[in-house]
Chain A
Amino acid sequence: GESVGLHLPTLSVQEGDNSIINCAYSNSASDYFIWYKQESGKGPQFIIDIRSNMDKRQGQRVTVLLNKTVKHLSLQIAATQPGDSAVYFCAESPNPNSGGYQKVTFGTGTKLQVIP
């Protein structure tokens, strides 16, 4: 399928190394943050999320760090594998427990290329 990452920033990483993908967000009211992975020809797939009352959350081989002071989010992938090659999007949402609807806004994305 046609790549979704033709004009996106690209991060090239050697297989087995750790990857760090960064994201800056602009809305100070955002309280819930999500990382999605999008492979070519597919829709975005949830990886990990974090709420604003946390600064770090770990999953399987992935860690998300949140710095609300500078409105910065990062995704760390340990021991990067060829299957991790994809476009990664951060997404933000206002407080999901406010009783209102959840509006999810996506960033521009980063293409991760894993070199075997």
Chain B
Amino acid sequence: EAGVAQSPRYKIIEKRQSVAFWCNPISGHATLYWYQQILGQGPKLLIQFQNNGVVDDSQLPKDRFSAERLKGVDSTLKIQPAKLEDSAVYLCASSRGAGANVLTFGAGSRLTVL
């Protein structure tokens, strides 16, 4: 099966600019996750979707981050305006459903904020 697709792979912006990341999960996977991974740390969950509904966005900085999964398939994560501390890799993952399922990750989108 095709893996989780993410784009762009790399993005460099200046602080206060905006950026958007796109994710296409594995076909048929109901659950989609966005994680933020700062260099040298483990991935931190930003938001989790079950189909097109949000089930957890408790760690999403909602003043600047937003995400949507309108048709329950692909998803976009937006940052506006970006801060220096947003420099990280943004990982998208998907799994079959709400139960015990393995997360399959994309390669990530590396953001550098100058």
A51 and B48 alpha carbons, distance in the complex (Å): 22
Give bound CA distance, A45 to B91, whole Å: 12
Is A7 a contact of B40 with CB atoms below 8 Å? yes
**How many residues of chain B have a CB within 8 Å of chain A?**
32
Q: Is chain A's binding surface mostly helix, strand, loop or mixed?
A: loop
CB <8 Å contact, B50 and A4: no
In the complex, the answer to whether A100 meets B43 with C-beta atoms within 8 Å is: no
| In the complex, chain A residues whose CB is within 8 Å of the CB of B43 | 44, 89, 106
Distance, CA A105 to CA B44, complexed state (A) = 7
CA distance A105 to B99 in the complex (A): 15
- Range, interface on chain A: 20 to 34
Binding site for B on A (CB under 8 A): 2, 4-8, 32, 34, 41-46, 49, 51, 89, 93, 96-97, 99-109
Q: Is the CB of A46 within 8 A of B45?
A: no
Point out the residue from B33, B41, B100, B110 that lies within 8 Å of A97, measured CB to CB.
B100
Residues in B neighbouring A97, C-beta threshold 8 A: 99-100
